[in-house]
Amino acid sequence: MGFDLIVTNGIIVTASEVLSPGIEIGIKNCKISCVGLFLPRTENTQIIDARGGYITPGGVDSHVHFAQDNCPTGDDFTTGSRSAIAGGTTTVIAFASQEKTETTVLPCVEKYHTRAKDQSYCDYGFHLILTNPTPKIMATEMLLMIEQGITSVKLYMTYEPMKLGDAQVLDVLMAARTLGFTTMVHAENSDMISLITDRLESAGHTAPYFHAISRPQIAENEATYRIISLAELTDVPILIVHMSSETAMKHVRKAQTRMLPIHAETCPQYLFLLSERLKGTHEDAFEGAKCVCSPPLRHDPKDLEAMWQGIANGTFTVFSSDHAPSNYHSSGGKKLGLKGDVMSYRDIPNGVPGVETRLPLLFSYAGREKDSRLSLQRFVQLTSSDPAKMYGLEGVKGNIAVGYDADIVIWYNEKDLEEGVTIQQSELHHGVDYTPFEGMKVKNWPRLTFLRGKKVWDRDNGGVVGDVLDGKFLRRGKGKIVVGRTGGEVNGMLPGERDFWC
Ligand code: DUC
Ligand code: ZN
Ligand code: ZN
């Protein structure tokens, strides 16, 4: 029989260990079938030499926006997934987004399937954005969704066209309790933001920088505390997406200390970028629009530092890109916020691109060097194995272990890349016309990416060597709790009190 492929001469990093040099990966029928020493070769075995570099699992980016109606100028599945594999990500979970006027989610999910099928370089799944969770959807269609492998939803506590009130959030959480889907939440206080936005506009403060002024940390803080309370009341695990501030993060940490199943995600922009980036330049007063995202970039380097602490100490379960692609130069993109000479930050599409730069940015700080901020294992947990667990892909994606899909990233031996890599838009593979990380230096970059044993990215020999037919839809199982547990009592309630109404 023998292996189809053996990856040799590298240092394998799993979610729990950095394995000794010499340990090899044997791949058969697209799966990792052995991790061990001196694997037997046959004449049909292809040997991949990792040249002494690290080997990590293919990245699982569980928060990307591809081909979404609200960002029509950026990435579709083809360009977005191409960018993913060039940055070492082999699985993405994108969104199928329900319109508030829709009383069923089935056509919307079909629409997003059509946008992705046979158009993806990497494997993909969908979360469902619920903006109108009718009783019928919650009672019958969510069951169907779970059967079809869509086992997570995202809820918004802000944005007029998407937000749910607390009563609706509670309805969804109660359905999640029964059906077992995973609930992701965008936590910002909508009314605080509206008040400030209206008053800023009256005062003529409408340049991109005021986006950050309009969404202060206290708005994230309040909504985070509120959603944790709603989740605690109903005893349901949640994941709070794209967290940006220490005050809000402290609620998560405190809840986790009480063993509540409260998970959190942060993204590269909240580790590396500050609100000063929203200020225009001499040449282009509107350029800050490129960095408009929500929650916004924060003001102080201490804010970044706090997010790094959450990365290192386990508060964050997931490090995603929140790749939200809108072109800067297209009229339907970021320029929606520029009418003639008049800037209007509230009309700028939210979000920054980053699916390709996510892994290299974090990997630069992983390891045992003096300037490292997290271990290599923690890097794997945050970028691959924990998002896979959270979203029902454990055992298939996100780790280097027997039985898993052979999704593998081989990094350069640092001796072969002494100068590192400078991030430049001209070198990236997304469909967006800029990167907010332009000019930043990273230490390393995926040299080779394999998707289910097939080489799809070879940085030195052709770049993208995969195909849009390579990516498959992932029917995900139900997500697992990674932090805490259900079944805890609510502070101040009698033991078992919930049973009267649950
Ligand atoms: N939420 C996201 O998840 N992405 C981009 C913007 C937003 O508000
Ligand atoms: Zn969001
Ligand atoms: Zn997002």
Per-domain boundaries in the chain: 58-378
* Ligand 1 site-directed mutation target among 152, 294, 334, most atoms within 8 Å of CB: 294
Supply the mean pLDDT for the chain: 97
Please compute the mean of the pLDDT values over residues 6-31 and round it to a whole number: 98
CA 131 – CA 101 distance, rounded (Å): 9
Q: Is the CB of 242 under 6 A from ligand 1?
A: yes
pLDDT for 72 equals: 84
Q: Which residue has the tokens 């986006």?
A: 211
pLDDT for 70 equals: 83
> What residue's CA is closest to ligand 1, atom 1?
294
pLDDT digits (tens, 9 = 90+) for 179-216: 999 999 999 999 999 999 999 999 999 999 999 999 99
Q: Is the CB of 127 under 6 A from ligand 1?
A: no
Distance 323 CA to ligand 3 centre (A): 7
On the question of pLDDT at 1 being above 90, the answer is no
pLDDT for 425 equals: 98
Q: Is the CB of 350 under 6 A from ligand 1?
A: yes
pLDDT digits (tens, 9 = 90+) for 227-284: 999 999 999 999 999 999 999 999 999 999 999 999 999 999 999 999 999 998 999 9
**What is the 3-state secondary structure of 204-267?**
CCCCCHHHHHHCCHHHHHHHHHHHHHHHHHHCCCEEECCCCCHHHHHHHHHHHHCCCCEEEEEC
On the question of pLDDT at 98 being above 80, the answer is yes
> What residue's CA is closest to ligand 1, atom 3?
322
> What residue's CA is closest to ligand 1, atom 5?
351
Q: Is the CB of 267 under 6 A from ligand 1?
A: no
Distance 130 CA to ligand 2 centre (A): 12
Looking at the CA of residue 351, tell me the nearest atom of ligand 1. Answer: 5
Looking at the CA of residue 63, tell me the nearest atom of ligand 1. Answer: 3
* Ligand 1 site-directed mutation target among 61, 64, 65, most atoms within 8 Å of CB: 65
Question: What pTM did the predictor assign?
Answer: 0.98
pLDDT band at 331 (very low <50, low <70, confident <90, very high): confident
Cα 423 to the center of its chain, rounded Å:
20
The CATH-assigned architecture of domain 58-378 is Alpha-Beta Barrel (3.20)
Contacts of 150 (CB under 8 A, 6+ apart): 96, 109, 125, 126, 127, 128, 476
Cα 184 to the center of its chain, rounded Å:
11
DSSP state of 150: -
Question: Measuring CA to CA, how many Å separate 231 from each of 128, 190, 251, 469?
Answer: 19, 19, 13, 40
Question: How many CA atoms within 13 Å lie on the side-chain side of 442?
Answer: 23
Contacts of 120 (CB under 8 A, 6+ apart): 77, 78, 81, 468, 470, 471
Phi, psi of 97, rounded to the nearest 5 degrees: -115, 120
